[in-house]
Amino acid sequence: MKRTIWATVVTAMTAVTLGAAIPAHAVTPSITATAAGAATDPVDPPLYDRTASGGKIRVNVVTETLADVADAATAGEKKQEFETVPVVTLKVDRAGLDRLAAKPGVVSVTEDKVERATLDQSIPLIGGDDAYAAGKTGTGQAIAVLDTGVDTGHPFLKNRVVAEACFSPSDAESGIVSLCPNGADTQEGTGAANTAAGPCATMADCDHGTHVAGIAAGNGTGITGAPKHGVAPGADIVAIQVFSQFTTEEFCGGVAPCVGSYQSAQLKGLEHVLKLKQAGTPIVAANLSLGNGRYTTACDTDLRKPVVDSLLGAGVATVIAAGNNGHTDAVSMPGCISSAVTVGSTTDDDELSAFTNRGPLLDLFAPGTGIVSSVPGGTYASKNGTSMAAPHVTGAFAVLKQAFPTKSVADLTALLKSSGRPIVYTGATTPRIDLGAALGGGGTTPKPAGMTDFNGDGVEDIAISDPQATVGTDAKAGLIRIVYGGGKGTAEISQDLDWVPGGSEADDYFGETLATIDWNKDGFTDLVAGTPSETVGTAVDAGFVDILYGAAGGLGAGTLKATHFEQGSGTGAIGGSASEAGDRMGHRIAAAVNDAGRPYLIISLPGEAIGDIKQAGSSFYVYGTTSVALSQATAGVPGDPEAGDLFGWSVAADQNYIAIGSPNEAIGSTAKAGGVAIFDANRFDSTGHPLPLAGLDQNNAAISGGAEAGDQFGYAVAIAPFRASGAAAATESILAIGSPGESVTVGTEDRANAGRVVQIRIKPDGTWSYLRELKQGTADDDVSGTSETGDRMGETLAAVNTAPGSVSTVASMRLAVGTPGEDIGTVANAGAVHTFSLAGSAGPNDRWIEAGDGDGIPGTPGANQYLGRSIHFTATRLYVGMPSGPLATGALYALPMSNVTQGGTVAPVTTYKPGSGGLPANGVAFGYSAR
């Protein structure tokens, strides 16, 4: 009987996608039914037609849980089973399909389709020679090649293959032969993927994997006639055979035999990579140069995605070829999986290869035309295809992981994207990798999430304010100290510098608030300094804000030095009204880049009068040279301006949403209960204002508790983007809201100003849902500590997504909560910090930090130190300022993420204090703010 076998083609022309969805830790994958899968019949309808005449077909059966697999397997002949995903591969007839359709635990039944396989000039082009000259060869790393096997004795690859496996299904009835050297469908260990043995020894089609491996990690040193080297000549190779031999002309589309790869074999191969990684093999990337089909949107129902996600969570990028169909707006499967890194092909002239698939789903380009690499038999050949482009990226991961061993896969992916050369084409712009630039050898050095890098050297810098410092003879004029990472010195910035707007005056408190952003998009972090106590003309405490620009020599060293914002008209004008006493412009500043790539600021003026209404408050939304005012008098903004609301007391922003707090807002007749307004950072009304979405207060039915006088809900806000599992990007956000005036009942005692925090999830459509509350030591929560009068938990908040390009996890979504009024024993107002996950429950993710408790802040708790009033997250550290002691000058402590994670190992802490590390000895409230 004739059977049609659907095939995906190996792309010797093929591409791999490294996905942006990278969880911070591996989890046991689950597969959720889609709307289609939720129908009464889980069987793909064409399968009934294919078996109607008595034939059998190979299918992949997805069940709800691993426990359901055994029952599903009784419906046919079991061909493949898996350890980490609820999938089983069966060969079934029509009766077997009927049995599967009737089983309650079966989610979907689909055909086990087959996919086909799709250097001297290319390595210098991507900066590989620069990396090689710098000693960055991928040493200490390993890459996995899931392909047609590897000639393990080839001189270009000799002694480099450290592990082998073969998953090659056979079916004599259908003319399908295993390529495992031992003749079985599965083989592991030395020789399992060697193309010099078994059927591959006489098959030309088995040369693909050897060519791919050579591009990624070949080493031609001392070999006559060989290319100089692949991208990562120091990396080890894990060779996994996932192809089978097909002997029918019907399948091969002409001359037989040929090779193809079952999806189930790829799934088993990826699962094997995960096992090796978990056992200690330092695999950083897995290469799949194969694919089939045309996909314009993410194919995240693909059964391989859960294992791709788990690999990424374990620190392994899955790199997939985009395909060679010339699609201008689509890629092949499995490159359409959102959590993979998909790679298209360019020529040596940085032109698009005519055959390459491309479009919005593509992550990166790499050379794929005329690539010379190893082929079986000890020789070399030139091949074209996205199959050749993908291993350039796979090798690049090994090189970058050697150079930056602490960076996550998400960080390395972002590095390749931001440092690459933009290739512009109809419908999209995609970077071609530049390994030299990614290593700091040229181009714009990319930054990890939240990283501050004023001089662009790829090392984290830090700005630390001391707003009470004396400048010249001006007491409390304020200054900012810069510590450049990598031992590149320190700098002092005050308004007495000729390039900084204004002039130092007593009681200015320059640098009271700080934010960072690459405002002019030149690759250098810029510092935003708020001076809300500045007198403007005769208006005391009117305030203004300055952007101080980064450059190769540091802040202020470039041609563009500063941009000044103040209210009124003329240079630096922002908004239409003039500065007025008590406005406190710059009281809080939030900086973010929206989805359109627009850097923007939210600058608060909580003391601003709206008409005759004193201290109603407002904020400015600023981008480029444009600004608009946001207040409760703005159309669509929840609430009404009332005296003393202090709208803008707190602000937070990310790529998706903006939050503005008004903690003294009356809710009904309840004074100072507080509220928060949410805005869309990517949608605007006809006047250019960010679109208002919702108003939150504790009388919202969905939020636990109720609005009470003095709660000050919205006193602090913090937000971070959230990428849900299956989502192509971080289109949601999680918002934390502090209400430090909240009274908490402990037993029968009402403890005023104990404080609490709530977490809100804002969805892509702008709707929101309540997640949880955090408050200390009551009967119904798992938060450490005990609520006490005056704790003021939630007075400050800091949030970060450490891997914004990946699927968000409990580990990647971090929240720090300041409780500055906490009494430690009998020591009043010593203060403390809690750290939690934004994406998980409190108990398992709660870590308590106080002075001297072993987490890295030295000394012992002291009275009125108010630990927790100054906190700031980057992707790698929590910065905790202690401007009120114990040191008379103040200090700042940089705690590694492991120190502030429940169960994390305490690592060395970096201490910044006057008189140490090149910092001048004078200080008054050093550490008041840091970015």
Confidence category of residue 180, pLDDT binned at 50, 70, 90: very high
Across the range 255-270, mean pLDDT stands at 94
Confidence category of residue 7, pLDDT binned at 50, 70, 90: very low
Confidence category of residue 12, pLDDT binned at 50, 70, 90: very low
| Both structure tokens of 544 | 């203004």
Q: Which residue has the higher pLDDT, 445 or 851?
A: 851
Q: Which residues of 468-479 are buried (b: 16+ CB within 10 A; e: fewer)?
A: bbbbeebebbbb
Tell me the pLDDT tens digit for each residue of 312-348.
989 999 999 999 999 999 999 999 999 999 999 998 7
Across the range 260-273, mean pLDDT stands at 97
Secondary structure of residue 133 in the 3-state scheme:
helix
CB burial class (10 A; 0-12, 13-18, 19+) of residue 778? Answer: middle
pLDDT for 575 equals: 65
Tell me the pLDDT tens digit for each residue of 353-369.
989 999 999 999 999 98
Q: Is the pLDDT of residue 301 over 70?
A: yes
**Residues 6 or more apart in contact with residue 607 via CB below 8 angstroms:** 541, 582, 583, 584, 587, 615, 617, 646
pLDDT for 9 equals: 38
Please provide residue 845's backbone torsions phi and psi, each rounded to the nearest 5 degrees. Answer: -125, 15
**Residues 6 or more apart in contact with residue 826 via CB below 8 angstroms:** none
Please provide residue 814's backbone torsions phi and psi, each rounded to the nearest 5 degrees. Answer: -120, 145
Q: Is the pLDDT of residue 14 over 70?
A: no
Longest dimension (CA), the chain: 96
Instruction: Please give the share of the chain, as a percent, with pLDDT higher than 90.
Output: 64
The structural domains of the chain, with segments of one domain joined by +, span 7-12+24-114, 116-438
pLDDT for 57 equals: 94
Q: Is the pLDDT of residue 870 over 80?
A: yes
Lowest mean per-residue pLDDT among 2-6, 187-191, 383-387, 468-472: 2-6
| Both structure tokens of 190 | 């030395």
Indicate the DSSP class of residue 905. P
> Cα 827–831–833 angle (5° rounding)?
145
Please provide residue 394's backbone torsions phi and psi, each rounded to the nearest 5 degrees. Answer: -60, -45
Across the range 449-457, mean pLDDT stands at 79
- Rounded to whole angstroms, the Cα distance separating 806 from 721 reads 11
pTM: 0.57
Q: Which residue has the higher pLDDT, 14 or 580?
A: 580
pLDDT for 778 equals: 57
Q: Contact 619/627 with Cβ under 8 angstroms?
A: no
Instruction: Please give the share of the chain, as a percent, with pLDDT higher than 70.
Output: 92
| Both structure tokens of 442 | 């040229």
Q: Is the pLDDT of residue 36 over 90?
A: no
Lowest mean per-residue pLDDT among 234-238, 396-400, 596-600, 760-764: 596-600
Indicate the DSSP class of residue 204. G
pLDDT for 573 equals: 58
Q: Which residue has the higher pLDDT, 39 or 756?
A: 756
| Both structure tokens of 452 | 């501050």
Lowest mean per-residue pLDDT among 11-25, 72-86, 108-122: 11-25
Confidence category of residue 427, pLDDT binned at 50, 70, 90: confident
pLDDT for 4 equals: 27
pLDDT for 443 equals: 38
Q: Which residue has the higher pLDDT, 134 or 343?
A: 343
Tell me the pLDDT tens digit for each residue of 683-705.
888 888 999 999 999 998 889 88
Tell me the pLDDT tens digit for each residue of 528-552.
999 999 999 899 999 999 999 999 8
pLDDT for 445 equals: 37
Across the range 881-896, mean pLDDT stands at 91
In this structure, how many other beta carbons lie within 10 angstroms of the beta carbon of residue 698?
23
Instruction: Identify which of 51, 65, 49, 47 has the alpha carbon closest to the alpha carbon of residue 104.
Output: 65
- Rounded to the nearest 10°, the torsion over CA 911, 916, 921, 923 is -10
Identify any residues that bridge with 566 across adjacent strands, giving them in sequence order.
Answer: 573
* Bond prior to 532 in cis (omega within 30° of 0): no
Q: Contact 168/179 with Cβ under 8 angstroms?
A: yes
**Residues 6 or more apart in contact with residue 688 via CB below 8 angstroms:** 626, 628
Looking up tokens 């971080």 gives 730
Distances in Å between the Cα of 618 and the Cα atoms of 393, 420, 624, 697 are 48, 40, 20, 18
pLDDT for 845 equals: 77
pLDDT for 569 equals: 55
Q: Is the pLDDT of residue 11 over 50?
A: no
Q: Is the pLDDT of residue 468 over 90?
A: yes
- Rounded to whole angstroms, the Cα distance separating 633 from 618 reads 9
- Rounded to whole angstroms, the Cα distance separating 18 from 312 reads 9
Specify the CATH class of 7-12+24-114 in words: alpha beta
pLDDT for 124 equals: 63
Specify the CATH class of 116-438 in words: alpha beta
Across the range 723-734, mean pLDDT stands at 90
pLDDT for 118 equals: 62
Helices (H), 343-382: none
Across the range 21-39, mean pLDDT stands at 30
pLDDT for 102 equals: 94
Confidence category of residue 122, pLDDT binned at 50, 70, 90: low
Instruction: Identify which of 663, 835, 805 has the alpha carbon closest to the alpha carbon of residue 728.
Output: 805
- Rounded to whole angstroms, the Cα distance separating 893 from 774 reads 25
Q: Which residue has the higher pLDDT, 878 or 119?
A: 878
- Rounded to whole angstroms, the Cα distance separating 762 from 768 reads 4
pLDDT for 125 equals: 62
Average pLDDT across the chain, whole number: 88
Q: Is the pLDDT of residue 484 over 90?
A: yes
Q: Is the pLDDT of residue 408 over 70?
A: yes
Tell me the pLDDT tens digit for each residue of 790-841.
889 999 999 999 888 788 888 889 999 999 998 999 999 989 999 999 988 8
pLDDT for 269 equals: 98
- Rounded to whole angstroms, the Cα distance separating 400 from 134 reads 12
Across the range 461-481, mean pLDDT stands at 95
- Rounded to whole angstroms, the Cα distance separating 715 from 794 reads 8
